[in-house]
Amino acid sequence: MFTLPETRFDLCGDEYIYAEITKEMSAESNFKAIVITNELRRRNIPGIIEIYPANASYLIRYQPDVISPSDLLDYLKEIDITKSNTAELHFKSRIIEIPIWYDDPVTKNYSEKFQQRNVHTGLSDFDYVMQINGFKDKNKFLDALTNVPHLVTMLGFSPGLAWAFPLGTAKRNIIQAPKYTSPRTETPKQAVGIGGAFSVIYPVNTPGSYQLIGMSAVPVYDQQQKLNAFSRSMFLTMPGDMRKHRSVNEDEYHQICASVKEGTYEYKMKEIEFSAEEYYRKKHLYIKQLMEDFYIV
């Protein structure tokens, strides 16, 4: 059983309470942030305006004329205690497939265009990330990028941008990369990036600083909600969902892009009930179990 330190609560101005579960990111601290914020939404406490889960913390915005900070803190501490038991850390989730064209010419071009802002020179971002993680064989590198689901830990920076953390991988084997020394002034829509241990898919053309390694064939943000997967929200994923990356070649990438444009593309997804307790006990075997009839990992 894993244990987490006592959550630290801080008042931020007159309308916010910040809860820090741990100082450093871990899957376990994010499980707790997801479960607690889910519980707060379920309780629908009068006076709470917004709930923001993050990687290892969460932020609550409230109306002080409706609920006092001391009363809200009592609610939060009570929930925090009940959700410190690993048996309580379970939540509904979805595994969603993301087809990606890795090592593509678009992100290669951006790698070259903004090379002076990066920590490396003479390599594409893809080759750099492969090299610093000890891979010499491209196929093995692609397997490492795609053989586990990535837990969406938080949203932010731009609409629909989701940070995702690999599950079922030993810490020493997690693919990681430093960010650019100075952010790019632009990043192509649907580019896939890695920064630290997190992967992101840029939802729109935007500045950015993660190493660019591929292009997603499908959107993660759809303001028009044209595709069926966006019927409930403009955002494809929410904290607690999981992305399953799949490597595709150039032909399949363009075929999928065409079906997205036509509005006929259907995302492959699976609804699951995720248990942190089972994940802690079985790790990769539990992930494999969740992925049955989706993909074998």
Q: Kind and range of the H or E element at 245?
A: strand 242-247
What lies within 8 Å, CB to CB, of 251 at 6+ separation is none
Helix (H, G, I), strand (E, B) or coil at 209: coil
- Cα 260 from Cα 254, distance rounded (Å): 10
- Residue 269: what pLDDT? 94
CA–CA separation, 242 vs 152, rounded Å? 6
Tell me the HSE value of 69 on the side-chain side, using a 13 A CA sphere: 12
Q: Are 107 and 100 spatial neighbours (Cβ–Cβ below 8 Å)? A: no
Angle at Cα 195 formed by Cα 258 and Cα 60, nearest 5°?
95
Q: Which residues make Cβ contacts (< 8 Å) with residue 70, sequence separation at least 6?
A: none
Identify the pLDDT of residue 297. 42
**Which residues in the chain land under pLDDT 70?**
1-3, 295-297
Q: How far apart are CA 248 and CA 289, in angstroms?
A: 24
Confidence (pLDDT) at 119:
92
Between the CA of residue 193 and those of 48, 129, 144, 199, 210, what are the distances in Å?
Answer: 34, 10, 15, 6, 5
Closest CA to 200 of 107, 116, 75: 107
Give the pLDDT of residue 295.
58
For Cα atoms 9, 25, 77, give the angle at the middle one, nearest 5 degrees.
25
Would you state the pLDDT for residue 3? 67
pLDDT at 239: 95
* Crossing angle of helices 105-113 and 125-132, rounded to 10°: 90
pLDDT tens digits, one per residue of 32-81: 999 999 999 999 999 999 999 999 999 999 999 999 999 999 999 999 98
Q: Which residue has the tokens 């376990």?
A: 28
Asked if residue 4 lies in contact with residue 28, where contact means CB atoms within 8 angstroms, the answer is yes
Q: Quote the pLDDT of residue 144.
A: 95
Give pLDDT, residue 296.
44
What pLDDT is stored for residue 83 in this prediction?
86
